[in-house]
Structure 1
Amino acid sequence: MEHTHSYDAQGKQLCCTEEGKINVQADALIKNKSVKNCCCAADDHEQHTDDDDHNHASSSDRNFELFLPAAISLIALLIAIILDNYVPQTWFTGWLRIGWYVAAYLPVGLPVLKEAVENIVKGEVFSEFLLMSIATLGAFAIGEYPEGVAVMLFYSVGEVFQTLAVKRAKTNIKTLLDQRPDEVTVLRNNQAIMLKAETVSIGDIIQLRAGEKLGLDGALLSETASFNTAALTGESNPDTKTKGETVLAGMINLNVVSQVKVTAAYSDSKLSRILELVQNASAQKAPTELFIRKFAKIYTPIVVVLGVVICLLPYFFVETYVFSQWLYRALIFLVISCPCALVISIPLGYFGGIGAASKNGILFKGSNFLDTMSTIKNVVMDKTGTMTEGAFKVQEVNLKPDFNRDEILNMVNALESQSTHPVATAISQFVGAIDTDITLNNVEEISGHGLKAEINGKELLVGNFRLLNKFSVQYDVDPASIVHTVIAISYDRKFAGYLTIADSIKEDAQLTIDTLKQLGVNITMLSGDKSSVVQFVAQKLGIKNAFGDLLPEDKVNKLKEIKAQNETVAFVGDGVNDAPVVALSDVGIAMGGLGSDATIETADVVIQDDRPSKIPTAIAIGKQTKRIVWQNISLAFGVKVVVLILGAGGLATMWEAVFADVGVALLAILNAVRIQRMKF
């Protein structure tokens, strides 16, 4: 498998991607002219060493290499035209003249001829490379040497510009690419040693100086440190971490020397997962993109047949039939009909949309989800962690007097430590360290209810009041009268009391709801939290449809009711606990933040910084991407139809043909890359 690279403006290599991941014909030029000595493996995203990077020329040198064949052909062509038309002479004739034009043709024509042959060997006979080869070789066959060279020259220049556009699109996701350092400083036996990052083991301690980028995921050992997390979230605002918190590969240490204990192997880091996601995103094709690819496979052979018909059929109907004239018209027809404007600009448009989204901290797992997001009419969202911070704090402890407060709280803390729910974190912060003398047996998580375990042979239940109802535990409080989230406790089948926990609404939650309403999107909130809390949050944000006290199956039923209206639905949640709803929705959106690997793997779209305001941003990017793609389709078909008719009638020359092919492709490319400059 061959690979292609993308570079930033200074020529620094940003990533390596498998050839063919982006469906653009321009990759042929990258493969043939700009990528040499590729030594990276896409599967594990290995970095080049300093020696490898040293072997790469600067960006300007690489661009010069791309244009060099075209420059040679242009100079040779201009000399030939001058000798033909402006310099009186008798020696530039015959085989010398033909040989000169052939020499001018080969630098730009040979790579295209080679691609045409390779495609035929692979079974892909009717490609744009074949069309260009037939058209230009046909021009040579009828003695139109200057036009044969000129058509291939302009086609080659167009391909180079398309190549540069592809590289620009890849560069626009540079904040999400694998920028980890090759080497890290590891402390062993109180000595700092430099090691290759891929050789560092789990449990090793990394010393990170101010300004350095972390190479592996780990836990912070220093009391506090601030990091730039732009490579993961798209946000450059400093993020302060405290001892024990997770820090990830790609984060940049901003202030003091810090120590990090490695918790994941180099190839298993969060950044590797994100990189893989971005690289594989173009593998999931949008329906429009799939249609164009299928269309091109049918369209191209039809065009070749029509070219033959244009050349030969007039023989039976035209009295003064001249083969060379009709062959010239057929060749023009073939050049015009090249579908490169479609097969290049449309995938690039979608990839540009993926790049624009990634710049905003939004990861699309495929261009098909960009298409779907553009048609979203309903957004169904979870409450906790989506519209609220998910940072719960214990507000009240209400326990029965015949239960020992400390004993009950320690048991609850021990049991909740088995859960990753934000409630568990709140209880841990309130109670403190876990009592290691407590032994839990038969721990069980009951979906939508809570946790169950045995301690000292007695049953402990911690969850909502539905959990107590399930096990027939009697209680003397009215859950509906308590506004905040309630954690009910039962020990030895006796009601021990409850804790109340409160969450806070995210600062951009209101902006999110207001923007979605402006886009004409219907909003529904579904939550397993108690109805009073859900209604309180919904009223504050202006959400009319909000439902609480829902089990996972209840959420599924609610979503089915919405889908029954035949409208596209996006579900926003954590992507794990709500897996059935995510699977049922047209687009599953996960508030991925910096923590949950599972959300990145299960959701269709991942919002990395947990900001709900990115939901309308994702919709806007989807709409804009689809708009640009259809503009390109209309432009390509419109111009080609007009010039095809003119060409078939003998009213268009090779120059109009070049514009209809390369010119339209360049216009479509320029239109496609616009999305990368837009602000959302």
Structure 2
Amino acid sequence: MSKECCSNDPKPAKTSPDKISHQHHENDGHDHGHSHEHDDRPAFQLFLPALISFAVLLAGIALDNLLKPHWFTDGARFALYLVAYIPVGFPVMKEAFLSIKNGDFFSEFLLMTIATVGAFSIGEYPEGVAVMLFYSIGEVFQTMAVQKAQMNIKTLLDQRPDEITILENNVPKTMKAEDAQIGQVIQLKPGEKLALDGELLSEAASFNTAALTGESKPDTKKQGDNVLAGMINLNTVSLVKINTLYQDSKLSKILEMVQNAASQKAQTELFIRKFAKIYTPIVVFLAIGICVLPYFFVQNYEFRDWLYRALVFLVISCPCALVISIPLGYFGGIGAGSKNGILFKGSNFLDILANIQNLVMDKTGTMTEGVFKVQKVVIEKDFSQDEILQYLNILESKSTHPIATAVHQFAGDINHDIKLENTEEIAGHGLKATVNGKDFLAGNIKFLEKYNIPHQINHMDVSDTLIAMAYDGKFAGYLTISDQIKEDAAETVAALKKLGIKTTMLSGDKSSVVAEVAANLGITDAFGDLLPEDKVNKIKEIKSRNESVAFVGDGVNDAPVVALSDVGIAMGGLGSDATIETADVVIQDDRPSKIPMAIRIGKETKKIVWQNIMLAIGVKAVVLILGAGGLATMWEAVFADVGVALLAILNAVRIQNMNFSKS
């Protein structure tokens, strides 16, 4: 399947959320010896070794070229530059040793070690220090760039307090959140964050959900509503009954998804990793050739000159600009998505979205609010309206569909004296049960026709969603329900068209309803009255034209379509465990306008990645030729390596500061 992880790397083991922030170097594709964990020290501490090295290097250059004391020769000169080299050189040499120990003989650390130690061996002390100094500065900038990218994701990591206040016999008691059990009641004060998922026991409460959804507007919850870990209580003391263990909360699942995202590599990233593993040893052997082979072909061969050229060649050829900036570009894209309430399960989905040609969407809950209201009730004269509506109310209570909520709100409290047996859901049709030994059906018109029940419904008279009912083999009546289009749905379709993406709506709802919604939104193609297998066939039809397709839905009812599409996008990920598990991209706040935003993030990420590839390869190719010909010194080599790496890093972090809210 096209959206399976492109990488053969094993996924990292499940890790507690507080450890996720240290995963970058293990999973960023920068595997040429990077064994150290992500460094969370402040900028000054990160730069301190480089500052010490730079100060001593400047002192050496001043003694060499300005003061020129008679004692500053040979041993004294070597010792001073060695002091300048150690703060920046020792960590790199250590990494080179560890990479060799782990079986990676041709890491960038080894290239830098050979080049700088070689420079020292021929007396080019300032250049040897300078190369290692600027390389180390590049590494610090990389670390800072990763820190910036992770800040957008880490807002998810710190949302749950370690301790909670529970009520035992109406007495508040503090305990560790991870020790809390299902059924216990949390007392949540204004300003406190909720540590576990639960059910609101208080009459009403307002919550700040910005860290989870990116939505700044407070979300008011009513008694019985689900509230999620990471939400912040805004006004009154609230009581929440725990219904999920700490490690099983929605937030934990999101954190695990973010953790695993780094293992889902884009094809470009995988190619660069493979390229670097082949390219680096080739460069080492070419450098040896540059040093040794001229002995057989060049008159007046000077070993020192050709060794210098080989060392310059090594510095220039270091692939760090590629192996740092490309994973960082994708990491920045994932971070930019998290900042905007869009969770990508891997960098490969950024690439797929960047090239998507068709967007197929569900209707209910995706482009419409999914908040239904009963508009009209027609019950046949042979039946009691109260009785039929109670049958329907009890039957729909078995469903979590928004239509069931609308029926319950209209029909009122359930009469528990009425017993339904053998309840069964027929996918794409409706619900069936036995009441008083007789069959009761509720669903679409196709459902009645499936059981050969004649009816008096005129399609032309009904434009809203319709629930037809039958009891004891006879048509009992129908009710109509309507839904509202989301306020940013039309803006979403317009943005998708501007991106050159074809739009299609597939729904199990009535064709007339689907057509009306599609027309209001400007959607190109719309199909209603579809069974799940019909939706699959429509997706297959699009894919048969060799066109890429993304599907947007709830990720549960449409699982076959999500599996078949190139990328599955789930709306309302906070509302469904299955959504988080099955979708490739999760839109956390139900807003369809985040769909074109996700595509724009994918496109911008891919553009930045390819800019970095062309910059690194282009500059290196030119300076490599100059270096092999003796026309480039170590200073040009430093620019070709560290300079290009810094430019690529700065380019990669741009994506985190971009405004994707506008097309």
Residue correspondence of structure 1 range 69-468 to structure 2 within 5 A: 69-468=49-448
Relative to 1, partners in 2 of residues 1:431 and 1:4: Cα closer, same or farther, differing over 3 Å? closer
| TM-score, normalization by structure 1 | 0.92
1:442 deviation in Å?
2.0
- The answer for unaligned runs of 5 or more in structure 2 is 1-11
Question: Which residue is 2:550 aligned to?
Answer: 570
Q: Could you tell me which of 452, 456, 465 is aligned with 1:485?
A: 465
Instruction: Give the aligned residue type for 1:667.
Output: L
Comparing 637-646 and 488-497, the one that deviates more: 488-497
* Aligned 8 A contact 1:14 1:178 in 2: no
> Deviations 1:212-271 (Å, cap 9, x if unpaired)?
111111111111111111111111111111111111111111111111111111111111
Question: Which residue is 1:51 aligned to?
Answer: none
Instruction: Give the aligned residue type for 1:658.
Output: V
Question: Which residue is 2:618 aligned to?
Answer: 638
- Distance in 2, matches of 1:573 and 1:116, equals 48
Describe the SS at the equivalent of 2:500.
Answer: coil
* Aligned 8 A contact 1:3 1:16 in 2: no
Relative to 1, partners in 2 of residues 1:238 and 1:672: Cα closer, same or farther, differing over 3 Å? same
1:20 paired with 2:30, answer no
Comparing 168-177 and 534-543, the one that deviates more: 168-177
- Distance in 2, matches of 1:97 and 1:506, equals 73
Instruction: Give the aligned residue type for 2:239.
Output: Q
Question: Which residue is 1:41 aligned to?
Answer: none
* Aligned 8 A contact 1:4 1:18 in 2: no
Describe the SS at the equivalent of 2:545.
Answer: coil
Describe the SS at the equivalent of 1:572.
Answer: strand
Describe the SS at the equivalent of 2:409.
Answer: helix
* Aligned 8 A contact 2:366 2:571 in 1: yes
* Aligned 8 A contact 1:27 1:163 in 2: no
> Deviations 1:381-435 (Å, cap 9, x if unpaired)?
1111111111111111211222222222222111111111111111111112222
- Distance in 2, matches of 1:199 and 1:27, equals 39
- Distance in 1, matches of 2:121 and 2:15, equals 36
Describe the SS at the equivalent of 1:255.
Answer: coil
- Distance in 1, matches of 2:300 and 2:32, equals 42
Instruction: Give the aligned residue type for 1:557.
Output: N
- Distance in 2, matches of 1:378 and 1:372, equals 12
- Distance in 2, matches of 1:248 and 1:267, equals 13
1:88 deviation in Å?
4.5
- The answer for unaligned runs of 5 or more in structure 1 is 8-12, 36-58
- Distance in 2, matches of 1:646 and 1:528, equals 66
Q: Could you tell me which of 663, 675, 680 is aligned with 2:643?
A: 663
1:511 paired with 2:491, answer yes
* Aligned 8 A contact 1:225 1:241 in 2: yes
> Deviations 1:272-292 (Å, cap 9, x if unpaired)?
111221222121111111111
1:612 paired with 2:618, answer no
- Distance in 2, matches of 1:17 and 1:266, equals 22
Describe the SS at the equivalent of 1:435.
Answer: coil
> Deviations 1:543-580 (Å, cap 9, x if unpaired)?
23111101111111111111122121111111111111
Relative to 1, partners in 2 of residues 1:415 and 1:275: Cα closer, same or farther, differing over 3 Å? same
* Aligned 8 A contact 1:379 1:523 in 2: yes
Instruction: Give the aligned residue type for 2:371.
Output: A
1:480 deviation in Å?
4.8
- Distance in 2, matches of 1:492 and 1:583, equals 39
Identity, in percent, stands at 68
Relative to 1, partners in 2 of residues 1:26 and 1:192: Cα closer, same or farther, differing over 3 Å? farther
- Distance in 1, matches of 2:214 and 2:558, equals 26
Describe the SS at the equivalent of 2:333.
Answer: helix
Describe the SS at the equivalent of 2:487.
Answer: coil
- Distance in 1, matches of 2:84 and 2:496, equals 58
Describe the SS at the equivalent of 1:636.
Answer: helix
Comparing 535-544 and 331-340, the one that deviates more: 535-544
Question: Which residue is 1:31 aligned to?
Answer: 37
> Deviations 1:121-159 (Å, cap 9, x if unpaired)?
211111111110110111122222222122111111111
* Aligned 8 A contact 1:200 1:265 in 2: yes
Instruction: Give the aligned residue type for 2:285.
Output: V
* Aligned 8 A contact 1:416 1:424 in 2: yes
Residue correspondence of structure 1 range 581-660 to structure 2 within 5 A: 581-660=561-640
1:609 deviation in Å?
0.9
| TM-score, normalization by structure 2 | 0.94
Question: Which residue is 2:539 aligned to?
Answer: 559
Describe the SS at the equivalent of 2:306.
Answer: helix
> Deviations 1:46-92 (Å, cap 9, x if unpaired)?
xxxxxxxxxxxxx6xx3222122222222332333333343344444
RMSD: 2.2
* Aligned 8 A contact 2:33 2:107 in 1: no
